[in-house]
Amino acid sequence: MKFTVPIPIDQRRLSTLLCNSAKLKREIEETLNVKLIIDSKNGVVHVETEEELMPLKVMKLKNIFKAISLGFPPESVRKLLDDSNVLEVIDLKEIARNSRDLQRIKGRIIGEEGKARRMIEDMTGVDLVISGHEVGIIGDYEGAMAAREAVEMLIRGRMHSTVYRFLRIKAREIKRRRMELWEKMGLNI
């Protein structure tokens, strides 16, 4: 028996699955043991599988297609195939009072010549995309949560220097925790 689950995707971003990187489509199909049937007319990807889709697999597929819809490049989307990575989305429409406010908030997140966005990505090891009224973050859980907090600080109007200081502290904490984990693993082997 075949099971099919429809998952919406932004029609403008379908080329990420179709033309630009049919390789990504194949990787998704092989890794998750599904078949993707793309309905470009309606902006829906039908996920077909022989066995019933587990809720975690459906969630992973929804995150992958949401990341594509946000405009993440294929290399970033691939990271979501690994269980250790997550997608975080912040909807700026919930925060902005009007379109001018939305533009101001997006400008703060991007920073002068993209500096704020680059700092967030570099210090937390995440990929960050600002698309329309949403901010997307892909990375490991710790990095994604630190990046989310940094973005929220900028949204709340904190000074960029304060956010950069926060990011430096978080980067040190993340690095220290990873070193401790490696040491523990080294002792157990």
Which residue in 71, 73, 86, 92 sits closest to 10, CA to CA?
71
CB 68 within 8 A of CB 13: yes
CA distances from 182 to 84, 85, 139, 189 (A): 16, 18, 19, 11
Fold (topology level) of 85-186: Ribosomal Protein S8; Chain: A, domain 1 (3.30.1370)
Q: How far apart are CA 37 and CA 85, in angstroms?
A: 25
Q: What is the pLDDT of residues 86-96, one digit of tens each?
A: 999 999 999 99
Q: What is the pLDDT of residues 112-142, one digit of tens each?
A: 999 999 999 999 999 999 999 999 999 999 9
Amino acid symbol at 166: F
Residue extents of the structural domains in the chain: 3-72, 85-186
Predicted TM-score of the model (pTM): 0.89
Environment class of residue 167 by beta-carbon count within 10 Å: exposed (0-12), middle (13-18) or buried (19+)? Answer: buried
Fold (topology level) of 3-72: Ribosomal Protein S8; Chain: A, domain 1 (3.30.1370)
